[in-house]
Amino acid sequence: MLLSRRVRPGAHRPSGVGLPCRRPGREECDSVGFEEHRPRLRAVAYRVLGSLSDADDAVQETWLRFRHADVAAVENLGAWLTTVVTRVCLDVLRTRERRGEEPYDLRIPDPIVDAASGPDPEHEALLTDAVGLALMVVLETLAPPERVAFVLHDMFAVPFEDIAPMIERTPAATRQLASRARRRVRDRAPAPDRSIAVQREVVDGFFAAARAGDLDALVAVLDPGVVLRSDGGAARAGLTVTVRGARDVAGQAVLFGQFGPYARPALVNGAAGVTVVRDGRLLSIMAFTVVGGRIVAIDVLADPARLG
């Protein structure tokens, strides 16, 4: 269930080989060396794939390749493992394209949900770079090479010279891919206000206005260019919509008023959000991007198959 899985983004340089293993046997040494890098590998895979389960599978595949490889001469184990997990992720992205696994116009990536009081320490490596759900949605629109170039360079400080062989490009072409992706991210997913308290105040104001059916109050907390994205999956295809503009989003948001009594404050990808729970059943996860005291994006996952 998504509520039990968190992440925190962060820009980390590849670390080197782990501390010498003092346990007997290669298997124990391998496990110690790999586990030191597991959180970072999972963070890379989540950002590239947008799926927590696929990220876990990619890390497991990386472990299997590591176990069967001769890494005795590897000088930088962290960099080597990052290369392997990235190539595994690229294979997954290309398989998705070939199989046409995304039949809907919009797919909200897996959200990372924590209690409103603060993130679970287990998920902090996934969320270290304040990778909000709106940013993850934009990453979903990038071609695989663009996504890899941007994620590895801008979020994990991997040099273009190291990324280029992974995506079969020159370093100069890789730099251009990252630059193109960066512009798209900057235009479509602006950095949110840093204060969670400010974000929460704005989100609370949104729900208060929605419950009251106050269209003007809703417009007041929405940015003029706000976008509402909702993913209902196959079971709720009618809920898969994209709405733009403060007036139109406010009109749609009035319908959220009925869910007000069931909305519970939460952190969604490290930002103020809510879970909607009725009779013990998770109905939706809502993420809000607040910039300058106004909501610029609302991302809703309402797909029963993914909510668990």
For 106-144, the DSSP string reads: --PPPP-EEETT---GGGHHHHBT---HHHHHHHHTS-H
d(CA 88, CA 80): 13
Q: How crowded is the C-beta side of 248, counted as CA atoms within 13 Å?
A: 13
Q: Check pLDDT > 50 for residue 109.
A: yes
Q: Which stretch of 8-17, 38-47, 145-154, 206-215 has the lowest confidence by average pLDDT?
A: 8-17
Average pLDDT on 240-268 reads: 91
The first and second tokens of residue 35, run together, are: 């586990």
Confidence of residue 102 (pLDDT cuts 50, 70, 90): low
Domain boundaries, the chain: 2-188, 196-307
pTM of the model: 0.86
The CATH topology of domain 2-188 is Butyryl-CoA Dehydrogenase, subunit A; domain 3 (1.20.140)
How many helices and strands in the chain, by DSSP H and E?
A: 14, 7
Q: Check pLDDT > 70 for residue 26.
A: no
Q: Which stretch of 105-109, 120-124, 182-186, 253-257 has the lowest confidence by average pLDDT?
A: 120-124
**AA letter at 263:** A
154 Cβ neighbours under 8 A, 6+ residues apart: 11, 178, 182
Identify the burial level of 24 via C-beta atoms within 10 angstroms of its C-beta, where 0-12 means exposed, 13-18 middle and 19 or more buried. exposed
87: left (phi over 0), alpha (psi -120 to 50) or beta: alpha
**AA letter at 288:** F
Confidence of residue 258 (pLDDT cuts 50, 70, 90): confident
Q: Which CATH class is domain 196-307?
A: alpha beta
Locus of tokens 């060396």: 33
Q: Check pLDDT > 70 for residue 18.
A: no
Positive or negative torsion for Cα 12, 45, 114, 35: negative
Q: Check pLDDT > 70 for residue 13.
A: no
**What digits encode the pLDDT tens for the residues 269-299?**
999 999 999 999 999 999 999 999 999 999 9
Q: Check pLDDT > 70 for residue 14.
A: no
Name the average pLDDT for the chain.
88
DSSP state of 154: I
